[in-house]
Structure 1
Amino acid sequence: MRAVARVLVLAGPSGVGKSRLAAHSGLPVLRLDDFYRSGEDPDLPRIGHGANARLVDWDDPRSWHLDEAVDAICRLAATGRTVAPIYDIARNGPSGSHEVALDGARVFVAEGIFAQEVVSACRDRDVLAAALCLRQHPLVTFWRRLTRDLREHRKPPLVLLRRGWALKRAQRRVVAHAVSCGCEALSVAEAGARIRQLVAAGRSTVGRRGTL
């Protein structure tokens, strides 16, 4: 079946601005972070050492349902709609589901902390429009992430501070991993321009492999 739309995969470190850029793009958005495992899942990975030892490692891709995320992307690309979970961070688990519909859009965004992990599968299934990884200075990302997480009461403040500092140190490695998965590393402004190009192309061309 030929895809009715293709996916723009939007990756990048936590707090870099993926959700904001996706919301401002005007495109339908599939939130990949909603595919996190429940906090009661016995298969969740744990931090092995350091101040947060034995806590769940929510930054490990094993804390997330990769296959379910890929299936949702492919269903949305093939049919124009899919049902996705709604993840409640405060409850550490899903709190229902919702329908994502394209309403005729030729491009949609799939964004999340593990978005780079879906790139290969999306390319193999011929639904990939582009894969971008947002980058910015690690200190800027650290501050934006911390203020967001504190405002939303995602975890206890000390846990957020320790996690945020660890993520700051790992940020360049996260971007490098996304690039190795097939993403192009761009600033937020550069990514915004690329998205506008894809939207414009999607109005006139559908069905060529790897692009719209």
Structure 2
Amino acid sequence: MQHPPAPRRLVLVAGPSGSGKSRLVLGSGLPQVRLDDFYHDADHPGLPQTLGIPDWDDVATWNGAAAIAAMAELLSTGATHTPDYSIPLSRTVGEKCLTIPDDATVVLAEGIFAVEALPLARGAGIEAEGIYLDRPGLLVAWYRLRRDLAQKRKPPWVLLRRGLALWRAQGALKRKAVANGFRPLTYEQAQRRLTAIAPHSVDA
């Protein structure tokens, strides 16, 4: 007699840009969704602007409804399609087909708007929990700048201006995450949490 597959759980990983969200998710070996792929293109009508360019830290630049729909489909059917978004080009450059094993019970999703995605996911009836990577502000700022310069994500003057703004906003982001249902954890605590809910998956 075959038993129905166990319900899949969504775990949203939030934290400041540069806090190690992608590293944690990639190192887990678990199925994952990149929430940043759901940014709108730079020429999308009505994007909020700062100094003449889109304010990519404003949630209005992100298509939350499409992200939630894709994650719901992935959890229920084991497959979905997502945009393939280029951050340096600020536009979608293709499409990705995501599939997960039939026995997968946990799917991770990370991105700077994960804080907003958790209440949206729960409102859509998705079983979800939130992990907030809580790391020192100066350490996060250094990791972020080093990564963004290496990947040439935006012009250096944009990275420096954005980095200063994000450093100043880090405390408020944590408070918002906690209010939205996230649990603040260190990087090591987050690894242990993923190991607990999906044994044998997280790298040491």
TM-score, normalization by structure 2? 0.91
Report what 1:31 is aligned to: 34
Whole-angstrom CA distance in 2 between matches of 1:36 and 1:190:
29
Report what 2:83 is aligned to: 85
SS in structure 2 at match of 1:141: helix
Structure 1 residue 83: Cα displacement: 0.5
Structure 1 residue 129: Cα displacement: 3.8
Identity %: 41
Contact 2:6 2:105 in 1 (8 A): no
Amino acid at match of 2:59: P
Report what 1:183 is aligned to: 182
Kindly provide the CA deviation profile for residues 155-203 of structure 1, in whole angstroms up to 9, marking residues without a partner as x.
11111111101111111111111111111111111111111111139xx
Report what 2:113 is aligned to: 114
Q: Which ranges of structure 2 fall in alignment gaps of 5 or more residues?
A: none
Aligned length: 196
Kindly provide the CA deviation profile for residues 30-76 of structure 1, in whole angstroms up to 9, marking residues without a partner as x.
000000000011221112xxxxx232110010000010001011111
2:166 paired with 1:167: yes
Report what 1:101 is aligned to: 99
Contact 1:31 1:111 in 2 (8 A): yes
Q: CA RMSD in A?
A: 1.8
Please identify runs of 4+ aligned residues in structure 1 that moved more than 3 A. Answer: none
Contact 1:133 1:185 in 2 (8 A): yes
Amino acid at match of 2:9: R
Contact 1:36 1:87 in 2 (8 A): yes
- TM-aligned CA distance change 1:98 to 1:3, over 3 Å: farther
SS in structure 1 at match of 2:76: helix
Whole-angstrom CA distance in 1 between matches of 2:6 and 2:97:
18
Amino acid at match of 2:114: A
TM-score, normalization by structure 1? 0.88
Whole-angstrom CA distance in 2 between matches of 1:125 and 1:82:
17
Report what 2:122 is aligned to: 123
Amino acid at match of 1:166: A
Whole-angstrom CA distance in 1 between matches of 2:14 and 2:127:
14
SS in structure 1 at match of 2:93: strand
Structure 1 residue 128: Cα displacement: 2.4
Quick one: which of 70, 73, 76 aligns to 2:71?
73
Amino acid at match of 1:131: G
SS in structure 1 at match of 2:163: helix
Kindly provide the CA deviation profile for residues 106-128 of structure 1, in whole angstroms up to 9, marking residues without a partner as x.
10101110011121232234422
